[in-house]
Structure 1
Amino acid sequence: MKKFWMPLSMLLVASTTIGQAGHIMQGMGAVNMSMGGASTAQPIDINGALHWNSASITAFKNKQFSINAGTFFSSPQVTAAVPTQQGTFSGTTKDDRGVSIMPALSMVWGKKDSKHHWGVSAFGVSGFGVTFPQNNSNPISLPQSQGGFGQIKSDYMMMQVGVTYAYELSDKVSIGIQPTFNWGALQLEPNPLASPSQTLGYPKSNKASAFGAGAQVGIYYNSGKGIKLGASYKTQQYFGDFKFENTYLNGTPAPAVNFKMNYPAIFSAGIGYSNKAIDFALDYRFVNYEKTDGFEAKGWTNTASVKGFGWKNISIISAGLQYKLTDKVPLRVGYTFSSNPINSELAFFSAPAPAIIKHGFQIGTGLQLGKHGTINATYHHGSSGGSVSGPILSPMMISGANPYGAIPGSSVSYKMTTDLFMLGYTYQF
């Protein structure tokens, strides 16, 4: 096996998620995903309405139920290079995690003659992870005893339940509010949130879980002449601590670690237009990572553990078009653009779990079944738009001029693609 001068304490953080935009799902359910996630001002289905703008459920004048499930596959890879006495040692490791499941369940109650509307939802709003196997051809994936990571594994999921109330101020303007209740689970191997042992390296963690809560408020305007406007604000989702029980690779117990990781606040604004042939939607979102526990902090502690991810705020643009091919069969296309939350000088902390899909492309359709049921399907393909890269960091290299410990001549980078196929069924009572 090759050896190089990267010390054991240079292990990087196994970032928790692979998301569509940061670690945020761009759409919810088959219809909303096929529209690129755009829904703040264009509620063409109840999943997008409940998730992105609670006020917009007033567009539905009857009782509806929707159930969706998707199979998600990602193909991230991490490449690293370090200088050695014999020259540069570099290699690439590909993920072998496989397929993840994405659920979405929702229901709304509304009547034509009532100003009061209710809804409930249970969505998988964030999740996924990576499994980079041990690889003797990549400096990052070498065994810990040789200065690498060994196997890098992260597994994260977050479920969100919302209870929504919306009120029609007039025939054109509605407001809404939605308390949200969350559950998250996180597992890391190795666990860089724990301080390493000089002889045993970094431990691996159990799957820790935590509960959180927050809220969403929204406003929705329908001109009645095709133009629609909407805006919403989802507060930061405040979680309790993830309490990790850690174990060294030789099976001996390691000290427990608590870590707080909230879900960021999101502001959304949108415009929509509808006529007999089309429904168009355009959304803008601002995601505030820089003021979110777990993402705000960055760098190393004085015991060589990692403080946090150090992500930047991001902007997301979503656009979707539904063409009503017939009364029973629509055709939908969507596109999503996201800026990158990862600063290049901190890319090391997120390299093992790519956290950004820059471009997302979607296509979908639906089929009405009888008077009450509709089945919908969508396909998504996403790309990171090239590699995100930066230097390898070590706490042993920290100085006043090198606050994160960048190692001269080193590099770490990642790129990835994602694919999703989702089916949904909606029943109108």
Structure 2
Amino acid sequence: MKYLSSFISIAVIAPLFSTSAFATTGYFMHAYSVKSQGNAGTAIANFQDSLTIASNPAGLSWLDKRVDAGLTIFSPDRESEITGNGYGANGQYDGNSRKYFVIPDVGYVHPVNEQVTAGIAVYGNGGMNTNYKNNPYAVYDNTGSAGISLTQAFISPALSWKYAENQSIALAANILYQRFSAQGFAGDVFGGASSNGAAISDRGNDDSYGVGARIGWSAKPNDKLTLGASYSSKINASRFKKYEGLFAKQGDFDVPESYGVGLNYQLTPALSVATDYLRINYSDVDSVGNKLDQLFANNKFGTTQGPGFGWDDINVYKISATYQASEKLTLRAGYSYNDQPVKNDQTFLNILAPGVVQEHLSVGATWQLDDQQNVSVAYTHALKETVQGNNSIPADFGGGEANLSMSQNILGVSYSLNF
């Protein structure tokens, strides 16, 4: 227990001070554990480890006492292009000053009795990172490199109640820590478009906190079929005060609500298939959903109705297969697709946040070391996606188009111990 306590403490601290991740479903993670990564994130009814808390905490009722810990390496490729701009901003821009990001995760499951199971998970919820050494906004009186860095991490304690032989419900707290910084657009043009030009960029790191909830349900109608549903509330986080001249509502940056359903079916003793549907309501967060057009309706950056990144709500669809190749080896594969959150008339500001990826292909495997221990690996490739701007740069900024592209490679490794 002393070892376990130290292990959990380190795992809780590590994500909070890690560098920013660049998530794949908008700015949410597409999967919250390495095993789930191998299945393209199908986890609402596919309960493989303690990180099920991040997708559907009701899955705890179907797990034994265990610890899971993983490391995921993100390698995103972010590119932008400006064409037809009257102020001379035209060019190709590479946002990859930093190419690799490491995200840890850890979870613990503890059955209390035959009906109640407790657990805790610590994981990165998502984030966004760009750094352009060649500043795409330089012609607007900005100097130095440009970019943003957003990290979101959750600590989620959970309780699951198996209220019937084949059903469970659960509640998890989503304790949020997030950190943000921005640089490279503090000049007179952007500053003049802000309610507080001294708090729009180049203020260093700022921290924010909040608490929300996730509820889950699961059922096993028979020995082949598993069903699941999950809902995560919107988190009203504390404001980024250093950036009250950038985000709407004087620095407000909340976590949007999300919800989904899933199904897992055992086709044969060795082969199962799973599918998830997930909805993320980005537009409910004003600093994310408000369009740049707000600027020309007398709503400056940082005001109550101030501009945001213009992101739309998205639907996410996932499907995967898991195959027990031998007593020791499990193989996984999956595919996911999500709607495009960044519309082609909102690409100008999203040079800073080109979260345009839509398709993911995943493979993974688990090797059983002995009766209690196993190791897992997973690889995901987020296919390159390009959004071509259409009336994307306002005339006040010289007109023209901003085009965005992104792809990703994701590699994860984890270790699991069953007690």
TM range (shorter): 0.7 to 0.9
| Cα distance, 1:340–1:149 mapped onto 2, change above 3 Å | farther
Q: Which residue does 2:369 correspond to in 1?
A: 369
Tell me which of the two structures has the higher relative contact order, counting C-alpha pairs closer than 8 angstroms and 6 or more residues apart.
1
Write the distance in 2 (CA, Å) between the matches of 1:415 and 1:313.
Answer: 20
Question: What is the aligned counterpart of 2:221 among 219, 223, 234?
Answer: 223
Shift of 1:109: 1.1
Instruction: Give the structure with the higher percent strand.
Output: 1
Q: Which residue does 2:378 correspond to in 1?
A: 378
Write the distance in 2 (CA, Å) between the matches of 1:365 and 1:332.
Answer: 6
1:39 equivalenced with 2:43 (yes/no): yes
Secondary structure, aligned partner of 1:31: helix
Instruction: Give the structure with the higher percent helix.
Output: 2
Shift of 1:98: 1.6
Q: Which residue does 1:327 correspond to in 2?
A: 327
Residues 201 and 243, structure 2, Cα contact 8 Å, conserved in 1: no
Write the distance in 2 (CA, Å) between the matches of 1:193 and 1:382.
Answer: 35
Write the distance in 1 (CA, Å) between the matches of 2:49 and 2:414.
Answer: 11
Question: What is the aligned counterpart of 1:416 among 395, 406, 412?
Answer: 406
Secondary structure, aligned partner of 2:329: coil
Question: What is the aligned counterpart of 1:187 among 147, 170, 181?
Answer: 181
Which one has a bigger Cα radius of gyration?
1
User: Which consecutive residues of structure 1, in runs of 5 or more, have no partner in the other structure?
Assistant: 1-15, 248-253, 398-404
Shift of 1:143: 5.4
Secondary structure, aligned partner of 1:360: strand
Q: Which residue does 2:108 correspond to in 1?
A: 107
Q: Which residue does 2:309 correspond to in 1?
A: 309
Which amino acid in 2 is paired with 1:287?
I
Which amino acid in 2 is paired with 1:271?
L
Superposed, which structure 2 residues align to 1:178-327 within 5 Å? 178-190=172-184, 196=191, 203-244=201-242, 258-274=250-266, 275-299=268-292, 300-301=294-295, 302=298, 305=301, 307-327=307-327
Q: Which residue does 2:5 correspond to in 1?
A: none
| Cα distance, 1:282–1:193 mapped onto 2, change above 3 Å | farther
Secondary structure, aligned partner of 2:191: coil
Q: Deviations over 1:355-411 (max 9, x none)?
A: 1311111111111112211100011110243334233434xx4xxxxxxx6855x11
Secondary structure, aligned partner of 2:122: strand
Residues 390 and 411, structure 1, Cα contact 8 Å, conserved in 2: yes
| RMSD value, Cα | 2.8
Secondary structure, aligned partner of 1:223: coil
Identity percentage of aligned residues: 17
Residues 244 and 252, structure 2, Cα contact 8 Å, conserved in 1: no
Residues 347 and 391, structure 1, Cα contact 8 Å, conserved in 2: no
Shift of 1:191: 5.0
Which amino acid in 1 is paired with 2:274?
A
Which amino acid in 1 is paired with 2:131?
T
Q: Deviations over 1:81-123 (max 9, x none)?
A: 13459xx873211122221111111011126x61111110111
Write the distance in 1 (CA, Å) between the matches of 2:204 and 2:89.
Answer: 32
Superposed, which structure 2 residues align to 1:40-119 within 5 Å? 40-47=44-51, 49-60=52-63, 62-84=64-86, 90-94=90-94, 95-110=96-111, 114-119=114-119
Shift of 1:19: 2.5
Secondary structure, aligned partner of 1:50: helix
Residues 107 and 120, structure 1, Cα contact 8 Å, conserved in 2: yes
| Cα distance, 1:245–1:178 mapped onto 2, change above 3 Å | closer
Residues 53 and 231, structure 1, Cα contact 8 Å, conserved in 2: yes
Shift of 1:259: 0.6
Which amino acid in 1 is paired with 2:349?
F
Shift of 1:132: 1.0
Q: Deviations over 1:297-327 (max 9, x none)?
A: 2324448536222211100011121110011
Q: Deviations over 1:263-297 (max 9, x none)?
A: 11011101111242012110000111122242232
Secondary structure, aligned partner of 2:346: helix
Secondary structure, aligned partner of 2:348: helix
Write the distance in 1 (CA, Å) between the matches of 2:175 and 2:243.
Answer: 25
Q: Which residue does 2:339 correspond to in 1?
A: 339
Residues 193 and 307, structure 1, Cα contact 8 Å, conserved in 2: no
Write the distance in 2 (CA, Å) between the matches of 1:335 and 1:341.
Answer: 19
Residues 181 and 206, structure 2, Cα contact 8 Å, conserved in 1: yes
User: Which consecutive residues of structure 2, in runs of 5 or more, have no partner in the other structure?
Assistant: 1-19
| Cα distance, 1:165–1:143 mapped onto 2, change above 3 Å | same
Secondary structure, aligned partner of 1:320: strand
Secondary structure, aligned partner of 2:389: strand
Which amino acid in 2 is paired with 1:290?
S
Secondary structure, aligned partner of 2:130: strand
Shift of 1:328: 1.1
Residues 205 and 246, structure 1, Cα contact 8 Å, conserved in 2: no
Question: What is the aligned counterpart of 2:31 among 11, 17, 27?
Answer: 27
| Cα distance, 1:203–1:104 mapped onto 2, change above 3 Å | closer
Which amino acid in 2 is paired with 1:81?
T
Query: What TM-score results when the alignment is normalised by the length of structure 2?
Result: 0.84
Which amino acid in 2 is paired with 1:76?
R
